[in-house]
Amino acid sequence: MWFINFFKTSIGRKYVMAITGLLLVLFLCTHVFGNVTIYLSASAFQHYADALHSLPVLVFIFSTSLFTVLAAHIGFGLYLFFQNREVNNSRYAVQAEIVTEKKSIAAKTMPYSGLLLLLFLLVHVSGFTLSGGEMPISELVKERFSGFFYSLFYLISFAAMALHLTHGFWSMLQTLGANHPRYNDAIDKLTYIVPAFFLIMFGGIPLYFMTGLGSNF
């Protein structure tokens, strides 16, 4: 079928990366606004978690869809990485400086930051979903982040996420056609603003407990 043949092309794979990347960014937006209830109180966060898990069918559909999107993003990302490396190693490869140094550094580290994020997801899911037992999620959050190295791992992972997004967000917009002289300055600023927003919002949670501000959580 035509769409299968389209996905076999380089452009088609890039579109898959862009669309799945956009969906993952939208997931981060919903996730971060749920997590900020941690700053309000333990009861507020517990109420949010209970309300979310009172809809098991919706959670199942959302989780399955998220897993599918994530698997596609990782799979196509790895394929493009090895494909590009093979091209770059060719004697016919031409190095084109089409991105700024900021994006170049982020682009070169994309597979490594992506692998660190995959490790983070495995730790996160195993720590909060698979091993929670009967403990309320609010108590589990405080217990997990009371450990210095656990919180430090989260901070490092969120820094990797910000670096990953710096290039990923820019690349996504370029692939989807958001490239116009009138908007390029705004797009370039967004490649800083969006990652910084998620870094502050997510990274602030382990810092909240590490600094003692969450001692009464």
The count of residues in the chain is 217
Residue 84 lies in a domain: yes
Residue 168 lies in a domain: yes
Whole-number pLDDT of residue 97: 44
**15, 22 in Cβ contact below 8 A?**
no
**207, 155 in Cβ contact below 8 A?**
yes
Whole-number pLDDT of residue 184: 82
Residue 216 lies in a domain: no
Residue 17 lies in a domain: yes
Which of 32, 30, 4, 31 minimizes the C-alpha distance to 16?
4
3-class state of residue 147 by DSSP: coil
Mean pLDDT in residue range 154-179: 90
**18-65 pLDDT tens trace:** 999 999 999 999 999 899 999 999 999 999 999 988 988 998 999 999
- Structure tokens of 89? 């190693």
pLDDT band at residue 101 under the 50/70/90 scheme: very low
**111-153 pLDDT tens trace:** 899 999 999 999 998 888 776 567 889 999 999 998 999 999 9
Q: Whole-structure pTM over 0.75, yes or no? A: yes
Taking the C-alpha atoms of residue 169 and residue 22, their distance in angstroms, rounded to an integer, is: 8
Residue 30 sits in which domain range?
Answer: 2-210
Residue 217 lies in a domain: no
* Domains contained in the chain, number: 1
Here the CATH number for the domain that contains residue 197 is: 1.20.1300.10
Residue 215 lies in a domain: no
Residue 141 lies in a domain: yes
Helix-then-strand count for the chain, H and E = 9, 0
For every residue of 36-60, DSSP letters joined together read: GGGGT-HHHHHHHHHHHHT-HHHHH
